[in-house]
Amino acid sequence: MSKTAILLIDCPDRKGLVAAIANFLVREYDANILNADQHQDVELGLFFMRVEFTTDKAGCDEAQFRAVFSPQAEEFRMNWQLHFVEAQEKVAIFVSQYLHCLADLLHRHQTGEFRCKLSLIVSNHEKARALAEFYEVPFHCLPVRAETRAEVEAEQLALLAEHGVDLVVLARYMQVLSPKFVEAYPQRIVNVHHSFLPAFTGAKPYHAAFARGVKLIGATSHYVTEILDDGPIIEQDVARVSQNDQLPGLVQKGRDLERMVLSRAVQWHLARRILCYANKTVIFA
């Protein structure tokens, strides 16, 4: 039975890498390469590649591939990941009281835009329950207070482990995650920030942008790290505003941007189109 797989690679740049990778896949797996994209960081001397291929070779799984590919990977000092398209990631969405991003993600999942299993929705408010029930996704309301934050996070992590969650999406979840939580899901927590980072960080960026009289507003999707709003940026977008835009209109334009940048980031993560390095990302076409 034919399998489709995605190979992601980063390593020091040198001549012959593309040929070596393509020749290996054809020689060892009689692979049909469906798509290949690469990027070089000239300043750092790094090479990045994404290869999507099909193979009919029996017994092809990650362990078998590792055994065959490891000698070549060591020769070129490659970091690499192999993902099979048939294996769908399990996703959890965290949300607070703003539901526009959640509604957009649920609709896109229902219409088949996201190849994943939506395992659960977690919120610190009841407001999202009706949406979760409409889309038939398990919903867990865990209110957070300063004195119960650690206890609630432990319960959240237990829920994620119980459901075998691979990716956490923060769809305007207005709580700061602890270093322990972030450490449990490195480069597997995608957040949307309602600002064009690094400008206007914090809780009320639209108010700050309005007060500053900006001519462009933006939204940013990024991976979460221990440093607030400082993780590798996945996607950004902007909209033009003017003195005629009052704060409510500016916020509405911003929410439209938030929906778009978060959905793109989730789509690209699920499609294995992202590699992180030096607190940056490479996004493959």
Does the annotation mark 256 as catalytic? no
Q: What is the pLDDT of residues 25-65, one digit of tens each?
A: 999 999 999 999 999 999 999 999 999 999 999 889 999 99
pLDDT at 124 over 80: yes
What's the CA gap between 252 and 249, in Å, rounded?
A: 5
pLDDT of amino acid 170? 98
The secondary structure element, H or E, covering residue 134 is helix 129-134
Q: Is-contact 44 278, C-beta < 8 A?
A: yes
Q: What is the pLDDT of residues 70-123, one digit of tens each?
A: 999 999 999 999 999 999 999 999 999 999 999 999 999 999 999 999 999 999
Q: Is-contact 134 109, C-beta < 8 A?
A: no
What's the CA gap between 44 and 48, in Å, rounded?
A: 12
What's the CA gap between 112 and 205, in Å, rounded?
A: 33
User: Phi then psi for 246, rounded to 5 degrees?
Assistant: -80, 170
Handedness of CA 76, 48, 269, 183 (dihedral sign): positive
For residue 71 the two structure tokens come to: 């000698």
pLDDT of amino acid 284? 98
Give SS3 for 13: coil
Catalytic hit among 166, 229, 230, 256: 229
For residue 31 the two structure tokens come to: 């692979």
Across 6-31, b (16+ Cβ under 10 Å) vs e yields bbbbbbebeeebeeebbebbeeebeb
Q: Strand ranges (DSSP E) for 147-279?
A: 167-170, 189-193, 216-223, 233-240, 274-277
Instruction: Go through the domains of the chain in sequence order and give each one's CATH number.
Output: 3-84 (3.30.70.260), 89-283 (3.40.50.170)
